[in-house]
Amino acid sequence: MLRDDGRVSGWQGVSLVAITYVYFLIFAQFAFLKRLASLGVAGSHLTAVMAAMAVGGILFSLLTPRLSIWPSPSLRLRIGLCVSASAAFLSLLPIGPVACIVLSFLIGAGLGLLTVTLVTHLRCWMGNRNPLLLAGLGTGVGYLVCNIPAFFNASAEVQATTAGLLCLAGVGVTFLPMQPQPEETPATPQTNYSFLCVLACFTALVWLDSAAFFIIQKTPELKAGTWEGSMHLSANGALHLLAALASVWLLRRRGLMFVLSASFLALGVACLLLLDPHRIALASIFYPIGVSLYSVALVAYPALLAPVTSAAERGRQAGWLYAIAGWSGSAMGIGMGQHLGSIPPLFVLASGAVILLSWPHSIVQQHKREVTLTLAMLLTAFGLNCILTANDSPLQLTPVERGRQVYISEGCINCHTQYIRPNSPDILMWGLPEPLQALRHERPPLIGNRRQGPDLSQVGGRRSPLWLKLHFYNPPEVSGASIMPSYAFLFRDQRGDDLVSYLESLHGSGLPQHRSEEENWHPSPSAVASANDRDGERLFHRSCATCHDANGETRWADHFKRLPPDLTVGPYLHLSLAEDLAQRRNRIARIVKFGVHGTDMPGHEYLPDNEIASISLWLSQQIRQPNHNP
């Protein structure tokens, strides 16, 4: 069945790699576990079943290169595929715990035999034309297939059957022509790292990946954010494929260690993001990228890149790699996920140290001076900082002081000013200016330089704590289409309430005077003349309906001091029977512009007169006679 060099197109190798990945990912990692759950295997039984798989995998990964029987790679591969297919079909039977243990061992053994044989002789099925690209393509296609929504969401039985059938198809592929095992070539500088170093890096990556995978699987809100929904799954599949191809490109251009480091960065970031369920969307981008980057290397390194002198040595290295990094790393990662429920940042750092410190050739050796001086300066700065802060006694800050610090930390000054300019339109909108001396007492003054939002120097006089809190949770909801980000995360600890306390403390000394000026304000005659009720209705729905419509999003009744009235029915506490229509329109305009002090009703100070007049006109038409007052 052997053909001359160069006559193998390579698609056999691609399909064998893809089949192996699909079998491992969708059957061994998913379907078999679901099947065990449906068979009632749990607790210590489940642990024993999983341990049996690991034992089978480790044992056969190490034994395969040393087996003297079945010397033909094709035959050995066929046996591995047949064992794997049999295990998948047997899992469909209603078996007991002991049989599950045996079956699990069979899955591990089949995979051990299959994977080590495949990578040891991969070039026989890949050919010599771009084998690295083909290995990456096989890996990427494997992940892509697993993420096809219909397949991913299918029942365990369908997944197991498909995996088994794919293995049988793989058996068919092994009967196609292959090329002889090529001569081993000397190591290139890019791959000239010690095997132990590479093994340690892969182990750290598989450990991280398995822990993250297990935690996502077991946490419904994380799972919902990563593997649920057709769009999400399709995007994951595409990301896997693209990352696999990127991995090929990087392996060629930057070498193995670069790819492993990039993979660690992506996986490490994903693991850290998983600590916060709110960042799961971001984690779901980094995770597949990190996984595919190293998965390609996990095939390419033992098959194509390892600096070996014989096929036997290649096989032995592949065996150790899959036994230690693959099976043991995976088992340890799952154990960590089971016992801790999360990946401690320190562990991520330690993994990073293993991988990134594996760059001694390129970093420490070539940049001794740079690394030494940088480390020395980092340490010196640390020591100096300790000395400078040694005498700082821990201050007991008030909530207002802590809130001011939160204001600074979040960079609020980049969008909000705290400075009302004298003799300017600022005064009517936001209050009377304060003397500079008062500002000079602040450490530092938070004047700001840009207004993406309103001035906040006297916001405490204009907004209630409840309104501020609602606004921080979801700004567009209470402040018509605001572009401010949500700061709901601040309320997971004390920071949110501190920030609200700080903003509530921002009052000007001229507040009473400003209130009296508000009382005398009315829209300009030209604005009143140009007002129209259609604009009023549109503006009402943008700025007011969230509270004043019966279906308004913000009507958290139990939080308001008084439930905001549905303005189609009232009650209208702040309107009077004695007022004529013009007076009522002015009254409504004042309420719209400045709010109702002492309540949760905010003003809309920044709206121009014509918009205020339009809202006022429309509302005065909608509101029935204010004789509904209780």
Partner 1 sequence: MRSDALTLPSNAPRPVVSAAAHALFWLVFANAIGVLIAILLLFPALNRLLGEWTYGRWIMVHLNLELYGWMSLPMVGFLFKVYGADRGPLALWCRPVLWVWSAALAVGAYSWLTGHSSGKLFLDWSGYARVLFPLAMLALWLLLAVAFVREWKAATIYARGAKAAGLLLLLIVPFILFFASSPNYYPAINPDTGGPTGASQLESSLIIVAILLMLPFGLARRKAERSKAIAISWAIMVAEFLLCFVLGRADISHHRPAQFLSLGSLLIWIPLTPAYYAAFNWNANTRRWRIAFLCWWAALVLSGWVLFLPGILDHFKFTDGLVGHSLLAMAGFTSSLLIFVLVQLLGEDGWIFNRTRSFYGWNVAVLGYVMLMTAAGWREGFDPTFTILPGVARHVIYILRLVVGGVMLAASLDWLIDAATLLRESSVVHATQEATS
Interface with partner 1 (CB under 8 A)? 273, 276, 278-279, 281-282, 367, 369-374, 377-378, 380-382, 384-385, 388, 407-415, 417, 419, 421-425, 429, 436, 439-440, 443-454, 476, 480-487, 489, 606-608, 611
Token match 């992506």: residue?
A: 266
Q: Residue 8 or 607: which CB sits closer to partner 1?
A: 607
Q: Residue 230 or 424: which CB sits closer to partner 1?
A: 424
How far apart are the C-alpha atoms of 26 and 277, rounded to whole Å? 25
Closest CA to 434 of 506, 508, 518: 508
- Strand ranges for 334-467 from DSSP E: none
Token match 């890996």: residue?
A: 139
How far apart are the C-alpha atoms of 466 and 345, rounded to whole Å? 36
CB 230 within 8 A of CB 149: yes
| Tokens coding 427 | 């005064």
DSSP string, 498-512: HHHHHHHT---TTHH
Q: Residue 314 or 514: which CB sits closer to partner 1?
A: 514
Closest CA to 467 of 562, 401, 402, 560: 560
Closest CA to 514 of 470, 463, 567, 458: 458
How far apart are the C-alpha atoms of 175 and 179, rounded to whole Å? 12
Q: Residue 89 or 489: which CB sits closer to partner 1?
A: 489
Q: Residue 312 or 377: which CB sits closer to partner 1?
A: 377
CB 74 within 8 A of CB 62: no
CB 246 within 8 A of CB 293: yes
Residue 606 neighbours by CB under 8 Å, 6+ apart:
429, 454
C-alpha dist (Å) from residue 382 to 102, 379, 466? 56, 5, 42
From first CA to last CA, the distance across the chain in angstroms is 96
C-alpha dist (Å) from residue 190 to 187, 462, 568? 8, 65, 74
CB 482 within 8 A of CB 443: no
Q: How far is the CB of 611 from partner 1 (least distance, A)?
A: 8
Q: How far is the CB of 281 from partner 1 (least distance, A)?
A: 5
How far apart are the C-alpha atoms of 600 and 467, rounded to whole Å? 6
* CA max distance for the chain: 106
Q: Residue 139 or 498: which CB sits closer to partner 1?
A: 498
CB 461 within 8 A of CB 603: no
Neighbours of 486 (CB within 10 A): 14
CA dihedral defined by 185, 191, 193, 195, rounded to 10 degrees? -60
